[in-house]
Chain A
Amino acid sequence: DAGVTQSPTHLIKTRGQQVTLRCSPISGHKSVSWYQQVLGQGPQFIFQYYEKEERGRGNFPDRFSARQFPNYSSELNVNALLLGDSALYLCASSSTTGVNTEAFFGQGTRLTVV
């Protein structure tokens, strides 16, 4: 079975540009969450989507947005990139929401802003 797949694995962007990161959840999983992991820190929650609806939002500026598609895949968009947006972006999928369902993480997308 394929796990959570994220694309691209690495990318480099310039300050002020926009970026789109993609995530395909495990087959049958309807919930996708996004986390930002800055070097030397633990992951920070950005968004959670379930059945195409936003179910949670972390403390991130409006430059960050996301959506979930009918096939449950998801995109994370970041506008007007800042140097501080450089991080590993992790996607996690779970069959549903709530603490009783395990979240499975992808390998992440390493974003470097120069």
Chain B
Amino acid sequence: AQSVTQLDSQVPVFEEAPVELRCNYSSSVSVYLFWYVQYPNQGLQLLLKYLSGSTLVKGINGFEAEFNKSQTSFHLRKPSVHISDTAEYFCAVTMRGSQGNLIFGKGTKLSVKP
């Protein structure tokens, strides 16, 4: 069975500082990986996804993530955060060949302080 572990439940950071949100997955089959963002009282928005090809994936709002198969990780990074990046971030996985049903981690709350 697949599972996703987000290692930090909360990450406080100052504005313009770099940030990394960590995600590890476990699966016995090949997977696809996603990062979603959830702003307060809103649904989920796709930030980026890894399906194949280059292991460094660039997404919206200046975020990027790197797929590391040997470490089964898919960490999300941004070189300089803004106040508006304050939100909850979810890492998700789905199996290759599946209907696309997503398995989510528990989420990381990013708080950007001035």
Identify the A interface with B (CB < 8 A): 4, 33, 35, 40-45, 48, 50, 55-56, 58, 90, 92, 94, 97-103, 105-108
Q: Name the prevailing secondary structure of the A interface residues.
A: loop
Contacts of A99 in B (CB 8 A): 32, 51, 94, 96, 98, 100
Contact B101 A106 (CB under 8 A): no
Closest 9 CB pairs of A and B: A42-B104, A105-B43, A105-B44, A97-B99, A99-B32, A45-B101, A107-B43, A99-B100, A55-B99
Contacts of B7 in A (CB 8 A): none
Contact B99 A102 (CB under 8 A): no
Contact B99 A43 (CB under 8 A): no
A102 to B60, CA, bound (A): 14
13 CB contacts below 8 A, A to B, read A40-B106, A41-B106, A42-B4, A42-B107, A43-B102, A43-B104, A48-B101, A50-B99, A56-B99, A56-B101, A58-B101, A102-B49, A105-B36
Query: Number of residues in B with C-beta < 8 Å to the partner?
Result: 26
Q: Which chain B residue shows the least CB distance to A107?
A: B43
Contact B45 A105 (CB under 8 A): yes
Contacts of B103 in A (CB 8 A): 45
**Is B28 interfacial (CB 8 A cutoff)?**
no
Contact A43 B44 (CB under 8 A): yes
A108 to B99, CA, bound (A): 22
Given contacts A41-B107, A105-B43, 18 further A-B contacts (CB under 8 A): A4-B43, A35-B104, A42-B4, A42-B105, A43-B90, A43-B102, A44-B104, A45-B101, A45-B102, A48-B99, A48-B101, A58-B101, A90-B43, A99-B96, A99-B98, A99-B100, A107-B41, A108-B43
